[in-house]
Amino acid sequence: MKALLDTSTLIAAMLPDHVHHADALPWLSQAKRGAFEFICSGHSLAELYAVLTRSPRKPQIGPSEAWRLIKENVTSNAQVISLASDEYALLIESLAKTKISGAAVYDAVIARVAELTSVDYLVTLNVPDFQRVWPTGTARIVSP
């Protein structure tokens, strides 16, 4: 089995006080144990770092701590896949044709990685958003 864990799932799994932690943690734990092939979009690395370092927490997660969490939970365990420049161009062209714009573009980047790597599951807390940008992958989009 091959699964892409999106940013929302990874954040929930890494933060014990997150409302969806109990749902997301089993996916990350299994991924780290090698129970399935763990895919992560390169875009998610940037999103993870941004969300971790800007979340309104006391105490705040600093840059070094954010990197430690990402390294321990993602880059040391996942196959990180990024789109090539031609794939970005094709994706943007497709989004323009389907009139998808705004923040949905970032979900589309992650979904395109899932599609290109032929994942069995794209695991997200934002199922409807991903179904919108990847309608042909609807059966593979699941909530943790």
pLDDT tens digits for range 68-111: 999 999 999 999 999 999 999 999 999 999 999 999 999 999 99
pLDDT above 90 (res 40): yes
H/E element, 39: strand 37-41
Local confidence band at 38 (pLDDT 50, 70, 90 cut-offs): very high
Residue 57 has pLDDT above 90, yes or no: no
Residues of the chain above pLDDT 90, percent: 97
Neighbouring C-beta atoms of residue 16, cutoff 10 Å: 9
- What's residue 100's pLDDT? 95
- For residues 119, 86, 46, 136, the Cα torsion angle rounded to the nearest 10 degrees is -30
Cα torsion at 29, 120, 130, 9 (round to 10°)?
Answer: 0
The CATH number linked to 25 is: 3.40.50.1010
From CA 46, how far away is CA 61, in angstroms rounded?
A: 15
Q: Which two tokens stand for residue 83?
A: 């789109």
* Tally of structural domains, the chain: 1
- Identify the domain containing residue 66 by its residue range: 2-142
Q: Is the dihedral angle over the CA atoms 137, 69, 38, 25 positive or is it negative? A: negative
The DSSP code for 134 is -
pTM assigned to the model: 0.94
The letter for the amino acid at 84 is A
Task: Give 55's pLDDT tier (boundaries 50, 70, 90).
Answer: confident
